[in-house]
């Protein structure tokens, strides 16, 4: 290991930090000599500068560096243009990864939000409501790896005879043959989705339950007086009233799903047609030593997040305008 290279880098970093804080002190000194109006602007700049610096170093620079790497070869020594992106949309394995990711980001947020809303409606105002919420929220306290190991035991396959896995043992009890669930594509993808849904339903339930309690009772009573039944009240009164909470839950679960790595890694390692973008990004960069393709997967992941973020920002602005 070349210690001198690291020493030079730390030396440059130290010099840069010293210079940065020296500039801040100089600006602060100028603020003391400036007029009151200019002083407030300089002070604001002084306090914002560290945050801007850290964002630039920790977020902006890595993002730009990743985009540049996506146009380079495996070892980053040669410019290959859009070759990596061409691989991502033409290679059968890469296309399967994109299809899997699309299924995850559509099914998991929709199912998690729907089940969370259903459960919140069923337990709202019932005796033992807190206990029911605590039970469904418990999986949120388990790490993704821990949840993956738990469900891997549920799907465990042991040839013929008595089974370790609960699901296969139930099949044996009913006289059916056990199935190697995690090797059966495409069903293994849906079985992996069950794990994330199991974790996220608790979050959805808690948020949507709080939103349900905020629905004005006057609107509900007015709908009942007008002759609306329970179903009509739910779809035409309750759901529109908690629309913002539903969007927050769906967007949060969507982003968590898009970043999915742990469950796939712990349960299948991305084999048997279960790989997704976040997992393959790490595989390409660290196991296959192909930084170009790994960066390409990271960029595609980023591109999928952008529309959701834009939608959420616009939704928040619309809510702010409505509350004014």
Q: How does pLDDT run across 206-242, given as a tens digit for each residue? A: 999 999 998 888 888 888 988 888 889 999 999 999 9
Confidence grade of residue 119 (pLDDT, cut at 50, 70, 90): very high
Domain ranges of the chain: 3-69, 89-323
Rounding to the nearest 10 degrees, give the CA dihedral for residues 198, 200, 203, 207. Answer: -110
Q: Is the dihedral of CA 303, 307, 308, 312 positive or negative?
A: positive
Between 19 and 288, where is the model more confident? 288
Q: Which range among 4-8, 283-287, 288-292, 311-315 shows the weakest confidence by mean pLDDT?
A: 4-8
Residue 16's pLDDT is: 66
- Which residues, in sequence order, are CB contacts of 229 under 8 Å at separation 6+? none
Reply yes or no on domain 89-323 having CATH 2.40.40.20: no
**Statement: residue 3 has pLDDT above 50:** no
Q: What is the DSSP letter of 78?
A: S
**Statement: residue 25 has pLDDT above 90:** no
The token duo for 213 is 């309690």
Most confident by average pLDDT, 2-6, 57-61, 195-199, 315-319: 195-199
The token duo for 79 is 């410019």
Query: DSSP alpha helices (H): ranges in 155-290?
Result: 166-173, 187-213, 217-225, 230-233, 239-241, 243-258, 262-267, 277-282
Q: Is the pTM of this model over 0.85?
A: no
Report, in this order, helix, strand and coil percent for the chain, each rounded to 5: 80, 0, 20
Q: Which range among 12-16, 76-80, 138-142 shows the weakest confidence by mean pLDDT?
A: 12-16
């Amino acid at each position: 290991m070349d210690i001198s290279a690291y020493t030079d880098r730390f030396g440059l970093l130290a010099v840069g930090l010293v210079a940065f804080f020296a500039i801040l002190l100089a600006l602060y000194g100028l603020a003391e000599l400036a007029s009151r109006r200019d002083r407030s602007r300089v002070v604001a700049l002084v306090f914002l500068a560290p945050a801007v610096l850290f964002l630039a170093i920790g977020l902006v620079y890595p993002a730009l560096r990743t985009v540049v790497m996506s146009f380079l070869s495996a070892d980053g020594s040669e410019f290959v243009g859009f070759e990596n992106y061409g691989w991502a949309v033409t290679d059968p394995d890469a296309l399967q990864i994109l299809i899997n990711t699309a299924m995850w980001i559509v099914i998991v947020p929709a199912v998690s939000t729907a089940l969370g809303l259903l459960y919140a409606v069923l337990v709202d105002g019932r005796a033992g409501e807190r206990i029911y919420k605590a039970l469904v929220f418990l999986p949120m306290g388990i790490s993704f790896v821990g949840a993956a190991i738990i469900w891997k035991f549920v799907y465990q396959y042991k040839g013929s005879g008595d089974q370790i896995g609960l699901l296969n043992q139930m099949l044996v009890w009913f006289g059916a043959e056990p199935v190697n669930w995690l090797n059966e594509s495409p069903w293994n993808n849906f079985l992996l989705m069950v794990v994330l849904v199991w974790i996220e339903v608790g979050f959805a339930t808690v948020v949507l339950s709080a939103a349900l309690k905020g629905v004005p009772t006057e609107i509900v009573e007015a709908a009942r007086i007008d002759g609306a039944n329970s179903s009509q009240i739910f779809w035409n009164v309750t759901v529109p009233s908690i629309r913002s909470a539903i969007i927050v839950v769906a967007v949060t679960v969507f982003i968590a799903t898009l970043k999915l790595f742990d469950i796939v890694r712990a349960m299948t390692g991305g084999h048997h047609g279960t790989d997704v973008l976040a997992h393959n990004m790490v595989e390409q960069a660290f196991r296959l030593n192909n930084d170009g393709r790994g960066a390409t997967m990271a960029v595609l992941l980023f591109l999928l997040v952008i529309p959701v973020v834009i939608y959420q920002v616009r939704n928040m602005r619309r809510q702010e305008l409505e509350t004014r």
